Structure 1
Amino acid sequence: MSVFISYSTKDSDFIDKLSIKLIKNKIPIWLDKWEMQPGDSLIEKIQDGLENAEALIVVLSQNSVNSEWCKKELSAGLMRELEEKKVIAIPAVLDDCKVPLFLRDKLYADFRSDFDTGFNNLLRPLSKLFSEHMGRKKDNDIITDYAINWGIDEDLFFLSIDLVNWYEKQRKSILLTINVEANVQGTRRFEEQLSHGVDWLMKETVITLLYENTRLRELDILVQRDSLFRLKVLMRDINSDIDFKIIIKASLMGEDNHNDMLIHLVDYLEMLNDSRKLRLK
């Protein structure tokens, strides 16, 4: 999934600046001049980009509102939004142009006076879709919220994943924490990445290793009403000299009906890995 940008080629300088800024903020984008190869069908590529889009940025200017090609893109994008209610349409206003009627009820990012202010307005709704730190998944009556934090603590790299499963019908929830600590070699690797502005690489590497670890994928956790589940696991990255210490905890919260609950760790690892793949696409 990615963000589709509808724009006029006459606004290419702005689009280049916007695209680079979005990528630096880990927002995957679909831009026709980046995606096209010699011999590709322009219409088919545009359709593929719209069909796989999670969000639609509509760059509005005096150039674009008069562009027939942009009007066609907008029509297809808004049709999909109306039909599936999944695509977020975000207008980005560059100048004092006439905003199309079907976009006037949308909150827009205003780039007319200041780029940074407009970009921050644009980033807020996109962060809900592509956030590195927080997320939510809903599966029938179960809601899973999670938070991911990482950095240096007591001179060692750490990754902390906190997940809360809300079971609405059963009026209870499960708190699951996965705490990862790297050895000295792993910490040095993270510090190198941090110095180059890519500190997120270690986080994504650890999430991949957790997902691929056979023992963790096969782990079923019985969360008991009267005790804390706690497990310590050692994990090694076979492609480097880095070891990780993992501590998993789980506790049951909410109304006490004297029932324990069983969860499968692989369900959470798959969710985290799916989010990782979306961020890196």
Structure 2
Amino acid sequence: MQHTNKDYDFFISHASEDKESFVRPLAQELINIGFKVWYDEFTLKFGDSLFEEISNGISKSKFGLVIISQNFLKKEWTKKELNGLFSKEIFSKENVILPIWLNVSQEEIYKLSPILSDKVAVKIENNEINIVIEKILTLTKSEIVTFEDVKKNKFSKKLQFL
């Protein structure tokens, strides 16, 4: 199936085992705020080619949110997505990868990728979506809002990226 020309703010790379507890609520919250999110459950359609759609999702996203957990570290497919995001970063000469360490240590990240272990990451231990949202909101230029403001709908315009 042909992918639309729609651009995304975020491509979310994750292990499927982390969907229920962390990834799906994070993706939904980002969408509720007004971000365009490539998230497999919300983007893929019956009959789509996983390889083509994920490749398109990576190439058409401004950032890759990489949710690194114990589950992520065990998967081959997540490593392919990470490699795709590294390639995008090299070719674009911009910071693309936004790592989120979900109950993992820097040493565990280093075993997967020494380069990735050097990136500043959001480190969380208890599925603290609000911490991730607050870090993401600091990347916006239209206005700085807190997670509590977002929850209370205290901002007037859609957030725009730098």
Q: TM-score, normalised by structure 1?
A: 0.45
CA distance in 2, matches of 1:53, 1:34: 15
Sort the Cα spacing of 1:114 and 1:46 in 2 relative to 1 into closer, same or farther, 3 A. Answer: closer
Q: Which residue of 1 aligns with 2:137?
A: 123
Q: 1:113: how far off? A: 4.4
Larger-Rg structure: 1
SS in 2 for 1:106: coil
Give the match's secondary structure for 1:54. strand
Q: 2:67 is paired with a residue of what secondary structure?
A: strand
Equivalent residues, number: 140
Q: Are the aligned partners of 1:55 and 1:88 in contact in 2 as well (CA < 8 Å)?
A: yes
Q: Which runs of no fewer than 5 residues in structure 2 stay unpaired?
A: 1-6, 145-151
d(CA) in 2 for partners of 1:109, 1:29: 19
Q: For 1:118 and 1:198, locate their aligned partners in 2 and report how far apart those are by CA, in whole Å.
A: 19
Long gaps (5+) in structure 1: 135-195, 205-274
Q: Which has the higher helix share?
A: 2
Equivalent in 89, 103, 112 of residue 116 of structure 2: 103
Identity %: 26
Higher relative contact order, chain-length normalized (CA < 8 Å, sep 6+): 2
Provide the alpha-carbon RMSD of the alignment. 2.6
Q: In the aligned structure 2, how far is the partner of 1:96 from the partner of 1:40?
A: 32
TM-score scaled by structure 2?
0.75
What letter corresponds to residue 19 of structure 2 in structure 1?
Answer: S
Counterpart of 2:78 in structure 1 is 70
